[in-house]
Amino acid sequence: MFKADKAKVEEKIISKFISLLDKGHDAEYCFDKFPVFKSYRSEIGKYLAALDKIKDFKSVKPSKKFEKSALEKIYQNSQKTEESYFQKNMVLPKSSKLKRPFFKPVIAFISTFLFLTFSYTGTVFASANSIPGDILYNVKISAENIQTSLTPPSRQGSLHLRFLNRRMAEAVIILNNNINISDEKINNLLDSIDLEYKRCNEHHYLNGQQTETLNNEINGIKTETQMRMRKRDGTGRDGMGSNGMGNNSGGQCTSSTESTVSGNNTETTVSDNSTETSVSGYNTETTVSGNSSKTSVSGNTTESTVSGNSTETSVSDNSTESTVPGNSTKSDNSTDGTSSNDGKGFDYKNSGK
Amino acid sequence: MDDLELNLSIKQFKKSGDSVYFEKIYHHFLPKIYRFIFFQVLNKQTAEDLTSEVFMKIYNNIRGSNLNSLTFKAWAFKIAHNTAIDYFRRENKSKNDVSFEQYVEEYNEHEIKDKNLIKEEKYLANELLLADEKLMSLLNRLPGEQKKIVLLRYVDELDYKTIGSILNKNESAVRTMSFRALKYIKEEINK
């Protein structure tokens, strides 16, 4: 073997020995475990002596005086740094109380509370237009229950009247749009209408006129609903709100008959030969063209336009506004031979031309 | 101070800002950092100034960092390394025509020799209470990087990976350089 190769091998072996020492092994253990090192023992000894010598540098240390003064200097400097940092940036330094771990759960609690509040409010807001059978309808009812429990007794009357109007509006929507829902849900709705009406009376919120109007409307809704349910049962469930339901008190339908029972706003247009009956809570706007007969019983406002040959009767509580071009007969706040409203229910008048 | 205790002190200082925990770290690392800087600048006053500068940087930045016992060692020595480089850069301002690396090499190998090296080394050995005066000159004759590696590996007992991260070198390069330095010292001792 050449001298250079021999030196390289020796270097490799010693390097290996030192790496074993680096791993925490004892020198004697390495000699015992790996006999190859034994032949290089004297050379390895020189390296170990050099290592021991180098470790003498550990005695190089700063003076105690410097150790103390340097620490004081650091604290003085850090105070200045923090003050100037705060003055420059107007931001609380890292040691600020706001950064302390105590505030973390408080912030977490507040953010969770806000999230839940806003999400619930959003759901309640979205459920405002729901009707029985909708997913959000139960949310609407639960929100109303919470509202009831939070309202003082002096305001309970107005609150229940508002809820009563909502229930009636729901019933009207179901009837007008021919929505198919189960009998159980309809009965629940009618029961809740009765319940809200009863609560309004319990709080003595309604005067005589209001009671009468509401009675009329509730009875109208009930009658209409029951009729449709009966008809559906007879015809094999073909939809609740089908038109042609006006044949009630012995009247007859010549061409077509349309009945509308509404809670808040109803707008109806009937053309050609028709009979129309409208029972509304607040506003009813009706346009009848051609030969027609119309009876309207409303709570607050009735606005009608009748063209052609027609007979129209309106019985309303507050105001009636009508425009009748052509041949027409019109009655306001009156009961004539063609229409009657005795306060116990509503009258379906059917007359063909 | 073992790694567990160092880890705890770092965490507690970051959490509470209590100076007691910083002082524990300070007293443990001060001789190491001082030694590391001293053997580069070879001047007691400069070494003290630079060491306090290093600890000021550590104090101001430790709370914003995410460090454990292992990474703290590398971080602290890296600050010391950079502070020393900045010092040499400042000193080198008047010698713009000479590159920085050249200047460091020159400073370590030739400048001290020119200024009556033996006398200087004797003085330093006495000042530092070194038993063997020869050892000081041995270390000074090593190239700059090897000197740092010898100090970090055999005096402060850092592992090769940490030394590599301080000096921006890979682990195997550090291993090779440390063995070369050790071989040189062995040969010089046995001359």
Q: What is the residue extent of each domain of chain A?
A: 3-59, 106-150, 153-235, 243-353
In which residue are the tokens 């105690």 written?
A: A64
Number of domains in chain B: 1
Beta strands in chain B (DSSP E): none
Q: In chain A, pLDDT over 70 holds for what percent of residues?
A: 58
Instruction: Provide, as residue numbers in chain B, all residues whose Cβ is less than 8 Å from the Cβ of A56.
Output: 130-132, 135
Q: What is the mean pLDDT of residues A189-199?
A: 87
pLDDT, tens only, A268-303: 443 444 434 444 444 444 444 444 444 444 444 444
Residue B56, in any domain of the structure: yes
Non-local CB neighbours of A214 within 8 Å, separated by 6+ positions: A164, A197, A200, A206
- Residue A294 has what pLDDT? 42
Q: Residue A288 corresponds to which tokens in the numbers above?
A: 């009848």
Q: Which chain A residue has the Cα nearest residue B128?
A: A60
d(CA A262, CA A278): 8
pLDDT computed for residue B39 by the predictor: 85
Write the CATH number for B39: 1.10.1740.10
Q: Which of B31, B35, B135 sits opposite A53 (nearest CB)?
A: B135
As a whole number of angstroms, the distance between CA B153 and CA B12 comes to 29
- Quote the crossing angle between the two packed helices B69-91 and B3-16, to the nearest 10°: 80
Lowest-confidence pick of A4-13, A226-235, A286-295, B73-82: A286-295
In a domain, B165, yes or no: no
DSSP state of A236: T
Provide the ipTM. 0.75
Q: Which domain holds residue B13?
A: 1-94
The neighbour count for residue A51, using CB atoms within 10 Å, is: 17
Cα distances (Å, whole numbers) of residue A190 to A166, A219, A295: 12, 10, 25
Confidence of residue A88 (pLDDT cuts 50, 70, 90): low
Structural element, H or E, at residue B13: helix B3-16
User: Which residue of chain B has the CA closest to A45?
Assistant: B186
Please report whether residue B77 resides in a domain. Answer: yes
Least Cα distance to A168 among A202, A217, A206 occurs for A217
Rounded to an integer, what distance in angstroms lies between the CA atom of residue A56 and that of residue A43?
21
Predicted model pTM: 0.47
Phi and psi at residue B12, to the nearest 5°: -65, -40
Q: What is residue B110's predicted lDDT score, i.e. its pLDDT?
A: 57
Please give the distance of CA B134 from its chain centroid, rounded to a whole number: 20
Contact A55 B182 (CB under 8 A): no
**Mean pLDDT calculated for residue range B13-41:** 88
Question: What's the pLDDT tens digit per position in A295-304?
Answer: 444 444 444 4
Question: Does A67 contact B at CB distance below 8 Å?
Answer: yes
In angstroms, rounded to a whole number, what is the distance separating the alpha carbons of residues A348 and A223?
11
